[in-house]
Structure 1
Amino acid sequence: MRDEVAAADVSAITGDAPAAVLLVHLSERTVVHVNPVARQLAPDAVLPLSVDAWSDAARLLDLDGAELSETEHPLSRVARSEPVVGQAVSAAAGSDLGDRREPLWVVALPMAGAPMLEDHALVVFLPLRDRRAARAAMDAATEQAVLRDRAVLATGLSFTVADARDPDLPLVWVNPAFTATTGYGMDEVVGRNCRFLQGPGSDPAARTTMREALEAGEPVTVTLLNYRKDGLAFWNQVAMSPIFGPDGALTHYVGIQTDVSGRVAADRARDDALAAERAARAEAEEARARAEEHRARLDLLAEATHRLSGTLDVGECRRRLLRLVVPQLADWAVVISPDDKGQIGQVTALHARAEETGRFEEYLDALRRTALRGPLQELLLQGASARRIGDYGSPQVRELRRGWVRDERVLDLSDELGVTSVLVVPLPGRRRDNDLMVLVRTGEGEEHTDDDLGIAVDLGRRAGLLLDNARLYEEQHHIATELQRSLLPDLPHVPGLQLAARYHAGQDGNDVGGDFYEVIDVPGDGVAVVIGDVAGHDVYAAAAMGHLKGLLRACAWDRTLESPAAVLSRVDELTVALGMTTMATVSYARLVPDGPGHWSLEHSSAGHPPLLVRHEDGTVRYLPDASDVPLGVEPALRRETRTERLPVGSLLLGYTDGLVERRGEVLSVGQERLARVVAAAPHDPQALCDHLLAELGDSHDDIALLAVRL
């Protein structure tokens, strides 16, 4: 049984469970650092703690259940600088090692020669899966210790300690088993990261798993292919455990490494397989390179679609395109956009090297002033095929280039910039080519290839369509902006009143909608103020709003309609009579001077948020609700008018729901927020409107504001 266990891999006994690790200060006989698993064994221990006290805190027993004596205590022995080659114990507390009182295999090694850890020892507790294995392993270690290094023979494990306070995690100590396994002596490894054991066959995924765990300060166990100093490959099971000091700071990583690759025959068979793999890899290298090029091409096209579709600004779209191709396909690049006459209207450019800015800008200025002709004009306007021009500086190509532009200064400056290779690629839109992209490589780089041209053409097709979309959006945006501006009136001058109004497009991207305001100088001494919101957020809503405003103005001038409620009711009747399907909320108020120092306010609402009044003393209140259903819902409804008497100096605010409504929020919360903001806002109506939009203008809905100071 003893021979069988001695010959077996320790990993077969201990499995792949994590280890509990301590660092012991020898001269002070104290435990100064522990890893998380060791903290589970003695959860109440506060470091630094004497080795005996820590052992008592963990309640260590031998496998027969007896308490450890002072002379045989493994922690006490290592504190006397004696190595513990293997002793089976058990701990009271359950942990990641296993359930309560499962046997643990203790290995303790003084760390002689370790920088900054000369007076320390490493103590490792490994799980043993059954009592017989524990006893056999301990007996085997004791009987054969005279033949070889005791730690190597007892465990078959290599121990390393790395400094976690250094970002590169350099080794500060290894045990003799590490030297025996890898062929590297301590003087060859101290100060280096343990990655020198890796090689061409090491699994990148395993390396990534280990790197990510170490960066996160977490324990990790991986198995990967390593290489001895003599080049012999072996499979290494590596368990890295973080060690923390008394203050909780990560100080070291303890590595436990086990050769799990088998004996010499298995090593040779594996090396033969690796040699065959290397031969196969060499045969497949060309195919892999082609696949990488293809994947890089697809990645670039996918990235181009993602980046270019992320903006609807034409200029920004061109700049993003240039950032994609420089420096991957060019040392510098230019996008030329035509004017109405088919000549250079706009030039957008990017150079990879900032030191070339002076001469590059001079070249761009000359390019903007010249006229295109020949092949470049054909590419820009007639959909000609893309071109690759190598040997750009040769006399033959120089003569050919004379037919491209009218100003030869452009050609001279391009020569001064060291141009060696050029790709000229159209960026086709839906109906015509809208832009031309020129990709340039200089003498420091290789010339373009046919593959580069293919990538540029594919990229040009995608970019052309996306630029076309952005250009179409800008045109629609301009139309929408002008339409909205034409629908929102200039406020009239009304004696005794200060007026201010704002329209703010919501964050949903619609620049035109149904929100509106109106101030109407009605017959007599009064003035009507209107704030409303037609259902919808598009050009159709804006058109419906224009119709509705016309009806409101006409009804406001009808002397037979004596109250705001009558005006709204009449508008409701007319929308039905005229076949309009408009639904809208409207707040209609009429202000009339009411003796010295006061105004009379009559108001009615068709489902609109209540008007708000701020008095001279700063108090804010919402007017009593005169709200009925919106226009277009129930035309026969009898509406209500309410009357207020407001002193001069009061401020009346009408607004649309985009100012107060937020998704997932009760309306009353938004109204309370608006009241607080209005109370703290400036007294001037213009400044008040700007203040409200700055504080509350982050809505997804449109906002219209109308402020009237009496």
Structure 2
Amino acid sequence: MAGEQGPGAEPVVAAGTPGTPPTAPAPTGPVPPPGADLAELALVTGDAPSAVLLVDLSARTVVHTNSVADQLAPGVRLPVGLDVWSDAARLRDLAGARLSDTDHPLSRLARSQPVLGQGVSAARVSELGTRREPLWVVALPMLDAPMLQQHALVVLLPMRHREAAEAAMDAAQVQAQLRDRAVLATGLAFTVADARAADQPLVWVNPAFTASTGYSFEEAVGRNCRFLQGSATDPATVAAIRAALDAGEGITTSLLNYRKDGTAFWNQLSVNPISGPDGELTHFVGIQADITTRVAADAERDRALVAERGARLEAEQARREAEQAQARLRLLAEATTRLAVTLDTAQCRQHLVDLVVPELADWVLLLSSDEHGHLREVSAKHRSGHHQKLQDYTRALRHALLPGPPTQTLLGGASARRISDYDSPTRRAERESWVSDSSMLDLSDDLGAASLLILALPGRRAGDDVMVLVRGPGSPRHSEDDLDIAVDLARRAGLILDNARLYEEQHAIAAALQSSLLPALPAVPGLTAAARYQAAASGAHVGGDFYELIALPDHAVGLAIGDVVGHDVMAAAAMGHLRGLLRACAWDAAAGSTAAVLERVDDLLAGLGIATMATLAYARLNPDPTGGWTLTHSSAGHPPLLLRHPGGEVEVLSTDPELLLGVAPQRRHAARHHLAVGSTLLAYTDGLVERHDEDLDTGLRRLAAALAAGPDDVEDLAEHLLATLASTTDDTALLVLRT
């Protein structure tokens, strides 16, 4: 029971909300076990609405009721006889007999005997018929209450759980002692306050009130019940009670009250307005129950739930962090894999923008500058496409971005920046300082730009590439974690891009060198010629394989095919030296034999100290007066020439095995053949025949078969042989002549 702080009083609080029928469906929840101690009766009755009567014992009539009692006995006009009211409410004992016909609670009350707890039942009428609902009756004569002598308070408490209620009733019937202390043991205290008197003082309290609060009957009666309030009593709850009493309505609530000794306890309070026969509000009848144990249990449960929820949140946070870490590792691993599969910078840049959208950005810019600080390349991608908008933006950016490396313009020399408030007005001035035309900033806003990560992609030369990761207003702003992973990604991407760019530069140099070393074929009357060179699939696309076709001064033709030991730029340089020596020796020995040419080249390599070793086949074709050509050829350890006769058969033009050029000067030998008109001569390097898992004879047979089946046109034949037989692991050169 509690009162307000200030004028007015809340004399009592009873379990229930006036106006709600006592026969409402029972709440769900755990059911106390049968035979539960009556000390748990508050758990059985709960906070369901109670019917309250004031009975004039002298006249044995009900003189005051609350609204719940009126609903139990509808249509009854007060005052009314106690038995008449009981019959109107269709009260029965547990055996089903009408109370008016038994020596039961209300009958004993008429003899001024208290009823400290007894089970009855009332009829509940619904569309499905009539059913009985258990009630717990407490009836207390108020012989010492001012102005209420010869009156009694009757409270009918609905039972929340039928099984538990019946068990409690059975226990009360069996043990009178338990029944006599039931109300006291449950902590149910009953009070009556005068609703018509100023400050609504208490006019009666039962012994349970004294036991639960420490205030005696004399200390309580005549006072407003606000004396139960204390420093921690909730003012809002007190105000709610005050408002209900002022409106003459019932209320049920819980609040913190204080006993006489100053100890605090939680009170479940219910107040019920009682009216007389004329409908005038006369009293407030209240019920209070000490629910401190329940509140403490609820608080402990809440603490446990909070702790459990906190543990779950921590576990969930740990799980998310682990998933994020794994996602970062996957992203970095995928970046390394996808970027390293190509040495083409355009493909590498495309792989990079594909990787970061949408993982780290809604859209991305990849900027590269030349040695003068001008934008050389701009790559862009948006998760929503917007191809035309991106094209317009990148075109405008090329002209509007201030001169100088983007690393200086956008980063000021730093390696990375996070601008999570990029769309704020305070950033506008900085954004305008990056471009010569501020109107282009509207284009980026149109694409959606709220948060930025700007990162330099480091390479051997600082500041070539900058990556800008952009998130729009609908996406989370970039965090420090996003920046960390982006910096790691930028470091890897920068090195891979730099390697690809370096490879392309080396390739361009190698291509230029190779182009300068491989000659254009001269036009020779009576001969058609085609040549091909293909570098290995890896490397600098240049090596030591070469071919040569020389129009000699005596109208003969010199043909050479060679392979300098090695597969790099050094081999190509050595090949250049060797070609120069060969051409000079072939020109000077125009009338000499092919063997003499090879011997002279050997002498020069040794005499000039050129540490070059190479295989070489050299041939000389002289026009034959009778038709066709006379072929003389020599070999320094080179695979043999192949001759396809006009009829299609292929002949291997073997020579005696001899050492490579550059090993030691030695005597060379020559062989001679006649080439009829329509013959095809093939000179080649070992990339066309050698395989690591087979012998040379197998490769020669395969090449002879391909030559026999090839087309007559020399260009087509060269393409056919290269496409069919060229090795991917070794350089290949070939020269085809058709007479």
TM-score range, shorter chain: 0.5 to 0.7
CA distance in 2, matches of 1:449, 1:557: 74
Query: Residue 686 of structure 1: which of 703, 708, 715 is its match?
Result: 715
Native 8 Å contact 2:365 2:379 kept in 1: yes
* Superposed counterparts of 1:278-677, under 5 Å: 282-354=313-385, 356-372=386-402, 376=406, 378=408, 383-559=413-589, 562-636=592-666, 638-677=667-706
CA distance in 2, matches of 1:570, 1:647: 30
CA deviations 1:603-643 (Å, max 9, x no partner) are 0111111101112222212113344221122322x211100
Shift of 1:561: 6.7
CA deviations 1:3-55 (Å, max 9, x no partner) are xxxxxxxxxxxxxxxxxxxxxxxxxxxxxxxxxxxxxxxxxxxxxxxxxxxxx
The 1:593/1:382 distance shift into structure 2, 3 A limit, reads: farther
CA distance in 2, matches of 1:332, 1:411: 15
CA distance in 1, matches of 2:376, 2:554: 57
Native 8 Å contact 2:374 2:405 kept in 1: no
**Secondary structure class of the residue paired with 1:566:** helix
**Secondary structure class of the residue paired with 1:557:** helix
Native 8 Å contact 1:373 1:404 kept in 2: no
Report the residue type matching 1:671 in the other structure.
L
Shift of 1:477: 0.9
Show structure 1 runs of 4+ deviating over 6 A. 275-279
Shift of 1:430: 2.4
CA distance in 2, matches of 1:279, 1:620: 86
The 1:349/1:568 distance shift into structure 2, 3 A limit, reads: same
Report the residue type matching 1:286 in the other structure.
Q
Native 8 Å contact 1:601 1:645 kept in 2: yes
CA distance in 1, matches of 2:436, 2:677: 71
**Secondary structure class of the residue paired with 1:628:** coil
Shift of 1:693: 1.3
CA deviations 1:126-163 (Å, max 9, x no partner) are xxxxxxxxxxxxxxxxxxxxxxxxxxxxxxxxxxxxxx
Shift of 1:398: 2.4
Native 8 Å contact 2:369 2:465 kept in 1: yes
Shift of 1:562: 1.5
The 1:564/1:398 distance shift into structure 2, 3 A limit, reads: same
Report the residue type matching 1:562 in the other structure.
G
The 1:472/1:560 distance shift into structure 2, 3 A limit, reads: closer
Shift of 1:279: 8.1
CA distance in 1, matches of 2:625, 2:410: 72
CA distance in 1, matches of 2:710, 2:314: 76
Shift of 1:560: 7.8
**Secondary structure class of the residue paired with 1:300:** helix
1:177 match: none
The 1:608/1:437 distance shift into structure 2, 3 A limit, reads: same
* Superposed counterparts of 1:193-204, under 5 Å: none
2:735 match: 706
The 1:374/1:392 distance shift into structure 2, 3 A limit, reads: farther
Report the RMSD for the aligned CA atoms in angstroms. 2.3
CA distance in 2, matches of 1:406, 1:687: 56
CA distance in 2, matches of 1:675, 1:295: 57
2:121 match: none
CA deviations 1:411-433 (Å, max 9, x no partner) are 11111112221111111212311
CA distance in 2, matches of 1:283, 1:518: 76
CA distance in 2, matches of 1:375, 1:309: 26
CA distance in 2, matches of 1:358, 1:379: 26
The 1:653/1:381 distance shift into structure 2, 3 A limit, reads: farther
CA deviations 1:63-109 (Å, max 9, x no partner) are xxxxxxxxxxxxxxxxxxxxxxxxxxxxxxxxxxxxxxxxxxxxxxx
Structure 1 portions without partners, runs of 5+: 1-274
Report the residue type matching 1:440 in the other structure.
V
Native 8 Å contact 1:342 1:381 kept in 2: no
Native 8 Å contact 1:658 1:701 kept in 2: yes
Native 8 Å contact 1:534 1:541 kept in 2: yes
Q: After superposing the two structures, state which structure 1 stretch, 531-540 or 567-576, moved more.
A: 567-576
The count of aligned residue pairs is 434
Report the residue type matching 1:323 in the other structure.
D
CA distance in 2, matches of 1:345, 1:682: 46
CA distance in 2, matches of 1:684, 1:333: 52
The 1:597/1:277 distance shift into structure 2, 3 A limit, reads: farther
CA distance in 2, matches of 1:699, 1:312: 17
CA deviations 1:155-193 (Å, max 9, x no partner) are xxxxxxxxxxxxxxxxxxxxxxxxxxxxxxxxxxxxxxx
Native 8 Å contact 1:555 1:561 kept in 2: no
The 1:322/1:304 distance shift into structure 2, 3 A limit, reads: same
Shift of 1:374: 9.0
Indicate the percent of aligned positions where both proteins have the same amino acid: 57
CA distance in 2, matches of 1:643, 1:281: 92
The 1:480/1:381 distance shift into structure 2, 3 A limit, reads: farther
**Secondary structure class of the residue paired with 1:492:** coil
Shift of 1:282: 4.6
CA distance in 1, matches of 2:551, 2:522: 8
1:147 match: none
Native 8 Å contact 1:583 1:631 kept in 2: yes
The 1:440/1:539 distance shift into structure 2, 3 A limit, reads: same
Structure 2 portions without partners, runs of 5+: 1-305
CA distance in 2, matches of 1:606, 1:660: 17
Native 8 Å contact 1:382 1:433 kept in 2: no
CA distance in 2, matches of 1:600, 1:622: 16
The TM-score, its normalising length taken from structure 1, stands at 0.58
Report the residue type matching 1:332 in the other structure.
W
Shift of 1:341: 2.3
The 1:588/1:519 distance shift into structure 2, 3 A limit, reads: same
Native 8 Å contact 1:520 1:553 kept in 2: yes
CA distance in 2, matches of 1:480, 1:630: 26
CA distance in 1, matches of 2:478, 2:313: 27
The 1:281/1:666 distance shift into structure 2, 3 A limit, reads: farther
The 1:277/1:526 distance shift into structure 2, 3 A limit, reads: farther
Native 8 Å contact 1:380 1:434 kept in 2: no
Shift of 1:682: 1.7
Shift of 1:379: 5.1
Shift of 1:376: 4.6
The 1:641/1:430 distance shift into structure 2, 3 A limit, reads: same
The 1:560/1:340 distance shift into structure 2, 3 A limit, reads: closer
Native 8 Å contact 1:379 1:426 kept in 2: no
Shift of 1:438: 0.7
Report the residue type matching 2:319 in the other structure.
R
Native 8 Å contact 1:565 1:604 kept in 2: yes
The 1:555/1:395 distance shift into structure 2, 3 A limit, reads: same
